[in-house]
């Protein structure tokens, strides 16, 4: 069941990432929903699932983006493992602390991608702090929306009054 949850979460994140890709073209803003999904997987199912989710999500994202395959996969694997370890060691049950974990994961992922790309190309690319902090804020906001909706929606559905069908009543 965990495998279906991991794959379903990644497929949903990749679909939303491709749907929102038109807003990221031109450098207006950057959003990494696959990273948010990897953090969600790691916080929900632990570091092992975070590694699997990070590997699958990162390599798929690399294949779809057209860059060097494996850079995002490796960085998301490392981030997924450490987010899972943090989630298992500390009480990260509320949406606020989870949002902070995703914000830290966003910064770590961006720095890892820059470091791995620089090691491959043997040239250190400069860090755009404004772009990184914008991505961190957008990822944290999307994580807050995701985690809050996951906590709220099941309770709302349970409290909804059940409507009876008119077929069961005798009206003769």
172 in a structural domain: no
CB 40 within 8 A of CB 99: no
| pLDDT confidence bin for 1, thresholds 50/70/90 | low
* Domain ranges, residue 64: 2-21+30-151
CB 90 within 8 A of CB 43: no
- What pLDDT, in 10s, does the model give residues 76-110? 999 999 999 999 999 888 888 999 999 999 999 99
Tokens of 42: 């790691």
How many independent structural domains does the chain possess? 1
Q: How far apart are CA 41 and CA 105, in angstroms?
A: 13
Residue 8 phi, psi (nearest 5): -65, -40
Q: How far apart are CA 53 and CA 45, in angstroms?
A: 10
Find the CATH number of the domain harbouring 14. 1.10.1760
For the whole model, what pTM was predicted? 0.86
164 in a structural domain: no
Other beta carbons less than 10 A from residue 68's beta carbon:
13
Question: Is residue 10 pLDDT above 90, yes or no?
Answer: yes
129 in a structural domain: yes
């Amino acid at each position: 069941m965990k495998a279906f949850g991991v794959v379903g979460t990644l497929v949903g994140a990749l679909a939303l990432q491709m749907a929102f890709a038109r807003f990221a073209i031109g450098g207006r803003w950057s959003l990494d929903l696959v990273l948010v999904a990897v953090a969600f997987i790691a916080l929900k199912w632990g570091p092992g699932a975070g590694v699997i989710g990070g590997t699958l999500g990162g390599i798929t994202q690399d294949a779809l983006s057209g860059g060097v395959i494996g850079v995002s996969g490796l960085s998301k694997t490392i981030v997924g493992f450490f987010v899972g370890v943090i989630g298992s060691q500390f009480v990260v049950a509320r949406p606020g602390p989870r949002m902070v974990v995703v914000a830290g994961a966003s910064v770590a992922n961006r720095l890892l991608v820059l470091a791995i790309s620089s090691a491959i190309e043997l040239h250190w690319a400069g860090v755009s702090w404004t772009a990184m902090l914008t991505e961190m804020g957008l990822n944290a906001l999307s994580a807050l929306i995701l985690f809050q909706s996951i906590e709220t929606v099941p309770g709302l559905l349970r409290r909804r009054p059940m409507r009876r069908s008119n077929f069961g009543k005798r009206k003769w």
